[in-house]
Structure 1
């Protein structure tokens, strides 16, 4: 299934549904359904601003050295190029709205690194597949997203 045939992708414990991804809009808007305990590895990107609005659940956000715990209605903006991550710290799936400007990096990354799902899918896979870390890292590198993984 190519990216033009769906609006929904599964990536590392998260369903990502594009609500807006037209490059001419100047932003992308994504609704995310995040499994308990799921969230991306710390990362940074120099070309897309990013902001998160918590719709449901409780999330912990790491922005630089700061840790924020936000529930429904909470909002956080990531300064351009700042290291950041989030994790659903609740016991049930949580929902986020994610805004990226101009969004090109995230449109490409989500649709290339994620597994295409039928349009409008809104249930997390059961059982939850393990993330393909090599694919995640390589797709991030190709699109200008740096993952900050611990030294092994």
Structure 2
């Protein structure tokens, strides 16, 4: 069996454009793959995933990954693996768009994205998250094994 996805849903996920390339449902929960488009100045909060690892590959621009208290700047063509339960955050501190792939193993983070953001008719022009968007994410995070951490 193979999966061909020719119509990737897109989301405005807390101010980042996300294209769902493969969902966990499409891979029997083996993994999910997303293409992220992070505008300058955009970043995630410090967080940890209890249920999945993340592999991040930068396609364009630069993405800072703060992991174990260290900042690693990933450039196009570079990849980082983030194990489960390791606090990290992602940030585009540059002045151009960062485009990167995120593969989560196993699948499941895709359900968090779908739960916290509505599918858009694309292409999505991300807008900053509203207070109700942030509340939606905070409420959902524990149900998906995601810990939002201070810092």
Question: TM class, shorter-chain normalised?
Answer: 0.7 to 0.9
- Contact 2:43–2:92 at 8 Å: present in 1 too? yes
- Contact 2:62–2:75 at 8 Å: present in 1 too? yes
Aligned counterpart for 1:69 among listed residues 60, 68, 73: 73
Moved over 3 A (4+): none
Structure 1 residue 123, shift from structure 2 partner: 4.2
Kindly indicate whether residue 106 of structure 2 is the aligned counterpart of residue 102 of structure 1. Answer: yes
Tell me the C-alpha RMSD between the 2 structures.
Answer: 1.8
Matches within 5 A, 1:23-62: 23-24=27-28, 26-62=30-66
Q: Distance in 2 between matches of 1:75 and 1:96?
A: 9
Q: Distance in 2 between matches of 1:99 and 1:44?
A: 15
Q: Partner of 1:114 in structure 2?
A: 117
Unpaired stretches in structure 2, ≥5 consecutive residues: 1-6
TM-score by length of 2: 0.85
- Number of residue pairs matched? 141
TM-score by length of 1: 0.85
Matches within 5 A, 1:6-25: 7-21=9-23, 22-24=26-28
- Contact 2:10–2:124 at 8 Å: present in 1 too? no
